[in-house]
Every structure is written in structure tokens, then in C-alpha cells.
Amino acid sequence: MSNLINVPKNGSLSSTNSNLNFPSWSSWIDEIFNRDLPSVFTSNFNTGMTLPKVNIRETSDAYFVDMAVPGMKKSDFEINLEDQLLSISTQVNEENQFEDENFNRREFGYASFKRSFTLPETVNEDKIKARYNDGILSIHLPKKEEAKQKPPKQITIS
């Protein structure tokens, strides 16, 4: 009798001694956890919405934080700075009620998130500015004067 070794797509090995192709217990478990899950399972359950994507970039005189949060208003955001911790949060409650002579429907929703970033000591906290435009929340974090990168200085030899 020969041993057959099956190599499924997930790469686990199972051996069989018959012509029947029953998956091994481990490959069956692997398949369950390697499936593409519906997006409802990949969202952040604690906040009711997925965390927004953030781009952070640095120039010689400032840091910039850009957050993609379409469909909101600037009044929906709360931005706080405490002990060099910048926190950006929002909480949106929505309720709609539709009435017709044949039906009455009421829908409501709740969404929130909070992102926090530790700022370097080089940020001038008194001059931080934020704006919201076309679904992008932009935060400008200027550097302190002494932290700004200065152009190279040429030193003459005497």
C-alpha cells in the first residue's frame, strides 16, 4: 500500500492511505480562517466604523497629518493636544424617520473613532492649525525655530 501526500492550496500537508480525498482536520481549519471575510468582520467593532487612513509627512519646517474622512463636517471632529499626545476623534449619531400612509420606518446609526499620535518635542504647540476640505482633515504641525533645518553654511579656511 502506498502513502499519498496531498498538498492543498494553503500549503499544509496531509497524508492518506486510501483513494478517498477527505481533507485533514488541520487543512479544514486552515481553510476556514484563510477565507476572505465579509467587510463587516474587518471593520473596527469597538468604534462602529473603520479607522481612517492617515498620511504623515515631514518637511524641513513642519509635520503634516492628512486623514481621509469623507462625508463628515468639520464640526464633527474634536482635536486635542495633551502632554505631546495629539488626539483626533469623532462621534456621529444619525437618525432618520420615514412616514407614509402605508408604512413607518425609523433608522438610526452611530459611528466614532479616535486616533492618537505622540508628537516630537520639536513641534511648536502654539501654532498648530487644522482644516477640513473635500473629505480630508489636514493638520499642520510647525517645528520650533531651533528645530528647523537650516541650509548648510560654508566655512572659509583661514
pLDDT of residue 130: 96
Domain boundaries, the chain: 4-35, 45-145
CATH classification code of 45-145: 2.60.40.790
Q: What is the reported pTM? A: 0.58
Q: What residue ranges in 7-61 does DSSP mark as E strands?
A: 14-16, 54-58
Q: Give the pLDDT of the chain (158 residues) as one tens digit per residue.
A: 445 555 555 554 444 454 455 556 556 555 655 555 444 444 444 444 578 899 999 998 999 999 999 888 889 999 999 999 999 999 877 777 777 777 777 777 777 889 999 999 999 999 999 999 999 999 999 999 887 778 888 889 98
